[in-house]
Amino acid sequence: MTNTRLDRRQFLAAAGTAALAAAPSTVRCATRDKQKDGVNVLFLMTDEQHYRSLSLTGNPYIETPHMDRIGREGVVFENATCVTPYCSPSRASILTGVYPHTHRILMNVSPGRNTQPALAQDAFANTETSLYRKGYATGHRGKWHLGNKGNFDCYESYSYAAKTNRVYRNLLAEHLPAAKFADHPSPGKYLARPVEMTPAVEKGFHDFHALENNRLAYISIIGRSLVPPEFLPETQITSQVLDLMDQNADKNFMITASWSPPHDLWVIPEPYYSMVDRDKVELPGSFDMPEWDQRGASKRLGNIMGPEGIREYAAIYHGMVKYIDDQVRRVLKKLDDLGLADNTLVVFTTDHGDMVGAHGCIGKSITSMYDDLVRIPLLMRLPGRIAPGTVVDQPVSQIDFMPTILDYLGHAVPDEIHGRSMRPLVEGRDVPWRDYAFCQRANHVRVLRTEQYKFFQLSKRRGVALYDLKNDPHEDHNLATDPRHAELVREMHGRLVDVMTRDGDPARESFAELPS
C-alpha cells in the first residue's frame, strides 16, 4: 500500500465526499417561505468520540467549553448508546430510526472494498428527506459514509462534492505545496504532507505494516501533522456550514456539520498536538482481553506500540477533540450572531466511540462492545423548550434521534420505526421507556446493556460474556465463566432473545442458544 493511496483514502474519509473549501456553497431548498415559529435544526456530529471525552462528562486532560455549553444550556443524556460501533450502520440508524438489522446497512459503505449497498433514499423514512419535502432548506457538510449523497433529493450531487474536493486540493497546493516536504524523512503522510512521529511510534508503524494481510496498516500513522489548523479539512467544512447558515437565515433549515476527528488518522498540528502531557495519560482496563479480541487490529496495534505509543495516540486523540471543540465554537457564535439561537434545536453527538487506550487498544477495531465503543456523547439545546442543566438518565439510542427531531419540529413521527421521541424524558414526564440498550455488530454479535449488566454474545454459540458494570466499570471480569452466575446468564440471554424477536431481528436463530 503506497503513501499516495493512504493520503487519498484518508482525505476522502475526512471529506466524506463533502463540499470542503472556498467554492460557493449551495443548499437544497423546497421553499423560501419560513413557517411562523418554525424550529431549525443544527446537527453537529463527530466520528468515533468517546463518551467521556468532554470536560462536561469527565475528561481530565482538556477543556471543551463549547461542546459543554450545549449541555449546560440544554440536556445531557448520560446513557446514550450507538447501535453498532461502525460508522455507516450508526449513521443510517440516526437518519431512519431503525436498527441496522432492518435498514440492512450492516457494515461500512466502502465502494470497491465490499458489497455493502448504500442507503437508498426512499427505502425508509429519514429525517432530512422528510424535512426537505416539508419545505425545509437542507444542507450537509462533511463525512456522509452512506454512498452517494447526491442520491438524496435534499443534498447536492456527487459532481458538486468532487468539484469542491478539487478546490480544496488546490488550496493546499497553493499554500502548502507538497514539494516543500520532498526531503522530509517521515514515512507517514496525511494529505500528502508529512506526519512527524516519535521514535517509538515510528518503530511501531514499521512493525505494524510488516504484518501479513493487514488492510488497516494505515492507522499506525500517529503523530504531529505539518498541515496547520486553518488548512485542515474540518476547518473548511466549518466555514461552509457558516456560509449555509448565512444563506438560509430567513428560512427554516436543517444543516449538518459532520466532522471526521477524532477518527483516525490520529494526527493533529500544533497547538493541539502538545496540549496533553503524555505522562498523565491513564490506560484503564486489563490488557488481558478475550480471545475473540486478540485478532482485532486495535489490539494488535496496541501490543506493537506498547504503553508509550498508546499514550502518544491517546494524547493526540484528546487534542483532536479540542480542535473540534473550537469548530463548535465557530458554529455556535454564528448562530448567536444571526439571532437564531432561540428557535434552533442544536444536537451534538457522534456515530460511535473509541477505546482511547483502554485495555491496551488503539481505535475501535475489536469484536467486543465495551462501553468505550458503544456509549456516546449526546447533548441537545432548544431555549424555552429544553430547560438548562437537564440530565436524562434513561437509556437512549441512535434510533431515537429521528423521532425526537421530528417531534420538536411538530411533525408526525413514522409508525414503523424502532425509535421513540426522547422529548418526554427531557421534559420529565412519567412515560414507559425501555430499561436497556440493544447493540449489534453485523450478523455475528448482539449485546443487551441494562443499568447494571452487559450481556454479550457471539452468534452460533461461539462465545458469551457478562459484565457487572457497577462493580466492574472497565469490563475486566467475564462473569459468564463463573458457575455462580449461570442463572443470571440465562436470564440476560432470554431478555436478549426476546428483544431480537420483538424487533424483528432476522439473526435471532443464530443467538437462540447459549454456548455450552
Question: CA-to-CA distance for 384 and 74, rounded, in angstroms?
Answer: 10
**Range scoring the smallest mean pLDDT among 11-15, 225-229, 379-383, 427-431:** 11-15
What mean pLDDT comes out for the span 71-91? 98
Residue 151 lies in a domain: yes
**Range scoring the smallest mean pLDDT among 48-57, 165-174, 251-260:** 165-174
Residue 181 lies in a domain: yes
Spacing of C-alpha 43 from chain mean position? 13
- Which residue in 167, 172, 192, 168 sits closest to 182, CA to CA? 192
Sign of CA dihedral 242, 244, 248, 253: negative
Asked if the model's pLDDT at residue 29 lies above 60, the reply is no
Q: Please check whether residues 254 and 308 belong to one and the same domain.
A: yes
Percent of the chain topping pLDDT 90:
88
pLDDT value, residue 116: 87
Residue 398 lies in a domain: no
Look at residue 172 and give its three-state secondary structure.
helix
The tens digit of pLDDT for each residue in 204-214 reads 999 999 999 89
What mean pLDDT comes out for the span 38-63? 97
Angle between helices 199-209 and 297-337 (to 10 degrees): 120
502 Cβ contact partners less than 8 Å away, ≥ 6 residues apart: none
Look at residue 397 and give its three-state secondary structure.
strand
Q: Please check whether residues 341 and 444 belong to one and the same domain.
A: no
pLDDT value, residue 18: 35
Angle between helices 401-408 and 87-96 (to 10 degrees): 30
**Do 144 and 160 contact (CB within 8 A), yes or no?**
no
Question: CA-to-CA distance for 45 and 515, rounded, in angstroms?
Answer: 38
Local confidence band at 447 (pLDDT 50, 70, 90 cut-offs): very high
The tens digit of pLDDT for each residue in 290-336 reads 999 999 999 999 999 999 999 999 999 999 999 999 999 999 999 99
Q: Please check whether residues 288 and 189 belong to one and the same domain.
A: yes
pLDDT value, residue 28: 57
Q: Please check whether residues 207 and 320 belong to one and the same domain.
A: yes
Cell numbers at 214, concatenated: 493487514
Specify the DSSP element, H or E, that contains 250.
none
Cell numbers at 25, concatenated: 456553497
Q: Please check whether residues 49 and 173 belong to one and the same domain.
A: yes
Instruction: HSE, CB side, 13 Å, CA atoms: give it for residue 392.
Output: 29
Residue 113 lies in a domain: no
Look at residue 348 and give its three-state secondary structure.
strand
Cα radius of gyration rounded to whole Å, the chain: 22
Q: Please check whether residues 250 and 353 belong to one and the same domain.
A: yes
pLDDT value, residue 33: 54
Q: Please check whether residues 197 and 249 belong to one and the same domain.
A: yes
- Which residue in 168, 122, 161 sits closest to 141, CA to CA? 161
Q: Please check whether residues 136 and 232 belong to one and the same domain.
A: yes
Cβ neighbour number for residue 29 with a 10 Å cutoff: 18
Question: CA-to-CA distance for 170 and 33, rounded, in angstroms?
Answer: 37
What mean pLDDT comes out for the span 330-346? 98
CATH number for 155: 3.40.720.10
Look at residue 210 and give its three-state secondary structure.
coil
Residue 75 lies in a domain: yes
> What mean pLDDT is reported for the chain?
92
> What is the tally of structural domains in the chain?
2
In angstroms, how far apart are the furthest CA atoms of the chain? 67
> Nearest 5°: phi and psi at 173?
-60, -35
Residue 102 lies in a domain: no
Asked if the model's pLDDT at residue 151 lies above 70, the reply is yes
The CA–CA distances, whole Å, from 321 to 22, 51, 198, 300, 408 equal: 24, 11, 21, 24, 28
Q: What is the dihedral of CA 440, 455, 374, 297, to 10 degrees?
A: -80
Look at residue 150 and give its three-state secondary structure.
helix
Question: CA-to-CA distance for 16 and 257, rounded, in angstroms?
Answer: 11
Query: What does the H/E/C string look like for 107-146?
Result: CCCCCCCCCCCCCCCCCCCCHHHHHHHCCCEEEEEECCCC
pLDDT value, residue 156: 83
Residue 142 lies in a domain: yes
Residue 466 bridge partners (DSSP): 455
| Amino acid, res. 364 | K
Instruction: HSE, CB side, 13 Å, CA atoms: give it for residue 5.
Output: 6
Sheet holding 437-441, edge to edge: 437-441, 445-449, 453-458, 463-468
Q: Please check whether residues 387 and 286 belong to one and the same domain.
A: yes
Question: CA-to-CA distance for 447 and 454, rounded, in angstroms?
Answer: 7
CATH number for 493: 3.30.1120.10
Residue 193 lies in a domain: yes
Q: Whole domain around residue 13: which residue ranges?
A: 3-87+126-393
pLDDT value, residue 36: 61
Percent of the chain topping pLDDT 70:
93
pLDDT value, residue 366: 97
Question: CA-to-CA distance for 304 and 296, rounded, in angstroms?
Answer: 13
Look at residue 392 and give its three-state secondary structure.
strand
- Which residue in 465, 444, 466 sits closest to 511, CA to CA? 444
The CA–CA distances, whole Å, from 284 to 35, 53, 268, 310, 356 equal: 50, 14, 24, 12, 9
| Amino acid, res. 273 | Y
**Range scoring the smallest mean pLDDT among 29-33, 167-171, 210-214, 509-513:** 29-33
Question: CA-to-CA distance for 342 and 382, rounded, in angstroms?
Answer: 7
Asked if the model's pLDDT at residue 23 lies above 50, the reply is no
Residue whose C-alpha cell is 448562530: 335
Asked if the model's pLDDT at residue 3 lies above 50, the reply is no
Asked if the model's pLDDT at residue 21 lies above 50, the reply is no
pLDDT value, residue 17: 34
Asked if the model's pLDDT at residue 407 lies above 80, the reply is yes
Q: Please check whether residues 257 and 165 belong to one and the same domain.
A: yes
pLDDT value, residue 162: 82
Burial of residue 153 (number of CB atoms within 10 Å: 0-12, 13-18, 19+):
middle
Q: Choose one of 393, 421, 447: the last residue of a domain.
A: 393
285 Cβ contact partners less than 8 Å away, ≥ 6 residues apart: 358, 359, 360, 370, 474, 475, 476
Q: Please check whether residues 344 and 450 belong to one and the same domain.
A: no
Q: Choose one of 368, 393, 418: the last residue of a domain.
A: 393
Q: Please check whether residues 193 and 306 belong to one and the same domain.
A: yes
**Do 108 and 87 contact (CB within 8 A), yes or no?**
yes
Q: Choose one of 362, 393, 424: the last residue of a domain.
A: 393
- Which residue in 170, 168, 144 sits closest to 158, CA to CA? 144
Question: CA-to-CA distance for 166 and 187, rounded, in angstroms?
Answer: 25
